[in-house]
Structure 1
Amino acid sequence: MLFFQLPEDVLYLILSYLDYKSLCRLSQVCRRSHQFTVRDVVWRRIARHFINTGMTREGIDIYPAIALKDRVKISQNWSHGVCRYNVLLKWKINLLPWLQLDGDVLYLSQAADIGVYDLRGSERGFQHNRVDVFTGHEEDVCRFALTDAHLVSAGGDGKITVHYKSRDYSVEYYGHNQEVNCIDCRGELIISGSRDKTAKMWSLNSDQLGKCLHTIRTYDRVWSVAISPSLCTFVTGTACCENYAPLRIWDTERCDLVTCLGTNFRRGAGVLDIVYESPFQLLTCGYDTFIRYWDLRVCSRKSVMEWEEPHDNALYCIKTDNNYMVASGSSYYGVVRLWDKRQTRCLQMFQLASNTSSPVYSLCFNATHLYAASTLHYTHWTLELQGPGPRDKTAHLHLSLSLSLSLALSLTLSLSLTLTHSYMCLDF
């Protein structure tokens, strides 16, 4: 009996003992081995141990259109910093842009407007790919958040604007006395935070749209807010200029204080960004130069992990792949850093520009691209693969990575059977 004539469940068991390099070599032994080893089920276990493969800790696949084998290869580029750099947009005045990525659509705030860009039309030039624009603010948009049907924006004019994506309709209302620095929406809840030292809860329900459900006095400027995926609680991150904890968790039902995160924060250690990974796990960053990882099931008084920006710069924004990778934007020279939660030091560093010193105000990424925006321009890095395209031909995937190939003479594999063939060895 030949090796690939074994029952499939036996083959899966045998292949589960191989690492990713051995699987790549085995896939080039013959056509039959290639057809079998490119299956996602073969790579699922391995992919969960690499950064940004789209596999979450819960086993959810975020990017099913790309073969897992290809994503594992692309993951090597994230780890080793192999990428192409492009500046997509520039502006002449200083801005505080904010980014959100929704599949193949990118939302980018520029001054008082929010542009919508189709990423699939890159051959025309990014500036020509704007398919829509949301307006309504009299001053700069500070931040905005997305749901399936809405775009909710907060501006320096104190207004909160709820835009309906599918129709040309929006609802505007003055939510705060001063600029609204942050906003988050999930389900039918909106949480906003302002310079006026309050956080407010609003409803996205059409019957209560524009109605303030609760007002929380934080006694400190609110820089960031985030709603838990469970919708039971939300977190406020304040400037830490008063004698109050900068990280506080509130109940969404009555807006009572549930707990404070951390102790002994230095004065001015404001929290600029908060990202939930699960109802119990969240990441925070800010002026104290640390990324902190909190697990509410363990302890709320101390973070379970933390990473310090090596150049002692404040951190303006963070994003996570919901597994091992965290990306952060620093306050000087447009530095974006990649972190692996299993390591204490920075994994990789990318720089927007060397001749200007600007914070990275916002960033986002998918399996193959990283997008970042600074004061003067918006740019992205492409970390892709040259090889077979996605299984869905309509998906936006330009797989273009130069990989080095070296010739190997033979392969001997002992898995109850021995195979010896000439093959091409793929080195990452």
Structure 2
Amino acid sequence: MLFSQLPEDVLYHILSYLDYKSLSRLSQVCKITNRFVNQDVVWRKIARDFLNTGITWNGTDIYPHIPLRERVELAQNWYYGVCKRSIPLKWKIKLLPWLQLDGDILFLSQASSIGAYHLHQESRMFQRSPFEIYSGHQGDVCRFVLTVTHLISGGSDGKILVHSRRSDLPLGLSGHSQEVNCLDSKDGLIISGSRDRTARIWTLTSSFPRATIPMFDRVWSVAINPTLSSFVTGTACCENFSPLRIWDVERSACVCNLGSEFRRGAGVLDIVFESPFQLFTCGYDTFIRLWDLRLSPQKCMMKWEEPHDSTLYCIQTDGNHMIASGSSYYGVVRLWDKRQSECLQFFQLCSDPVSSPVYCLRFSSSHLYAALATALHSLDFRQNPTYIRWHPHSHTSDLSNQEKCIFF
């Protein structure tokens, strides 16, 4: 019996013992094996071990329209830092921009408005002019979040605007007495935090807050648990309170504090829920921290230190092994593998004397976008492979970006 004539379940079992390079070589044997090997089910187990393939910790696929083999190829470029850099947009004055990605649309805040840009399928770049603009604030937009039906923004004027993505007229919420530093929204629930030392709970059905929580410190970040039962606030840590606290949504009461080792001024600038029980934080203490909320008391399970002692302004994760962080100096973006303690790759997007923090970053399967004070930067990881001889014990830092990769 020929190899290709074996029953499919036997073939799947055999292929489960092969690594990605062996599978790639096998796909070149003939058309029949090529069609069989290129199926997603063959690559799914392998894809879980790579960075940014779209397979999350619980097995969910967030990029189902992209073949898994293609994503594994891209993962090599992410791991070895092989990318093409560009600056799609620049502006003349220094801003504090914010980003969101929604499929093939990128939303970018500039001063008092938010522009929506189409990303082209091939180049993943976008036109210079937005196809839609959301406005209404009297000051700069500080933060905004996207839902399926709405864009919700908070500004330096203390207002919160709810823009319907299907109509032109925004709904104004009562807002705060000072600038709204942070926002999060899920399934009609909105949490806002402000410099006025309060956090507020809102719903889309009312223009008045359901509850106002005195925080006794400036609120820099908020995040709603995917279960919608609780949310987390990150404060400036200038008072005698833990900067990280978990709050019950229904009772508006503090459930617990996270950590006790924060020094004064170690404010938390970004919070990301990766699952209902896993939480990532970063801020002025230069650490990325992973918290496990299933433990009692909740503990920091792992932490990664920014090697140049820079404040970390923002973080994003791929839901599996990769973390991307933005630092406060020279627009440095770092890629981390959770399974390693050291930084995997770093990209310096600006230089002295044009130093700027990375205020926000977002990534897709193939691109990373970073918003700095005067420009939007793009890293394109869809580079053509360079075939080189590579020894597993060689020092990759001596190679150029185009040479730091093992390809099929």
User: One fold, TM greater than 0.5?
Assistant: yes
Name the counterpart of 2:224.
Answer: 227
List 4+ stretches of structure 1 deviating above 4 A: 121-125
Counterparts of 1:155 and 1:22, CA distance in 2: 53
Letter in 1 for 2:217: D
**Does residue 1:237 correspond to 2:219, yes or no?**
no
Label 1:351 to 1:147 Cα distance change in 2 as closer, same or farther (>3 A).
Answer: same
* Cα root mean square deviation, aligned: 1.5
Name the counterpart of 2:95.
Answer: 95
- For 1:337-366, what per-residue CA distance to the aligned partner results, in whole angstroms no more than 9, with x for missing partners? 001100000011012112321000000001
- For 1:143-170, what per-residue CA distance to the aligned partner results, in whole angstroms no more than 9, with x for missing partners? 0011100000000000000000011121
- For 1:396-419, what per-residue CA distance to the aligned partner results, in whole angstroms no more than 9, with x for missing partners? xxxxx2213479xxxxxxxxxxxx
Name the counterpart of 2:281.
Answer: 284
Unaligned runs of 5+ in 1: 385-400, 408-425
Q: Is the 8 A contact 1:89 1:126 kept in 2?
A: no
Letter in 1 for 2:279: L
Counterparts of 1:327 and 1:285, CA distance in 2: 11
Name the counterpart of 1:155.
Answer: 155
Letter in 2 for 1:217: P
Q: Is the 8 A contact 2:292 2:298 kept in 1?
A: no
**Does residue 1:366 correspond to 2:348, yes or no?**
no
**Does residue 1:402 correspond to 2:399, yes or no?**
no
User: 3-state SS of the aligned residue for 1:378?
Assistant: strand
**Does residue 1:343 correspond to 2:323, yes or no?**
no
Letter in 1 for 2:373: T
Unaligned runs of 5+ in 2: 390-405
Counterparts of 2:184 and 2:40, CA distance in 1: 35
- For 1:293-352, what per-residue CA distance to the aligned partner results, in whole angstroms no more than 9, with x for missing partners? 001112444300000000000000000101010100000000000011000000110121
Counterparts of 1:83 and 1:76, CA distance in 2: 11
- Following superposition, the deviation at residue 199 of structure 1 comes to 0.2
User: 3-state SS of the aligned residue for 1:45?
Assistant: helix
User: 3-state SS of the aligned residue for 1:354?
Assistant: coil
Letter in 1 for 2:225: S
Q: Which has the greater radius of gyration?
A: 1
TM-score (ref. length: structure 2): 0.93
Counterparts of 2:128 and 2:335, CA distance in 1: 30
Counterparts of 1:160 and 1:33, CA distance in 2: 56
Structure 2 residue aligned with 1:294, among 278, 284, 291? Answer: 291
- For 1:113-168, what per-residue CA distance to the aligned partner results, in whole angstroms no more than 9, with x for missing partners? 00000002787973435110000001110000111000000000000000000111
Alignment of 1:76-225 (within 5 A): 76-120=76-120, 126-205=126-205, 209-225=206-222
Letter in 2 for 1:361: Y
**Does residue 1:272 correspond to 2:274, yes or no?**
no
Counterparts of 2:223 and 2:303, CA distance in 1: 19
Letter in 1 for 2:381: L
User: 3-state SS of the aligned residue for 2:131?
Assistant: strand
Counterparts of 1:122 and 1:354, CA distance in 2: 30
Letter in 2 for 1:92: K
Counterparts of 2:262 and 2:125, CA distance in 1: 46
Count of residue pairs brought into register by the alignment: 391
Q: Is the 8 A contact 1:119 1:129 kept in 2?
A: no
Counterparts of 2:299 and 2:123, CA distance in 1: 49
Counterparts of 1:127 and 1:70, CA distance in 2: 26
Letter in 2 for 1:367: S
Structure 2 residue aligned with 1:333, among 330, 346, 349? Answer: 330
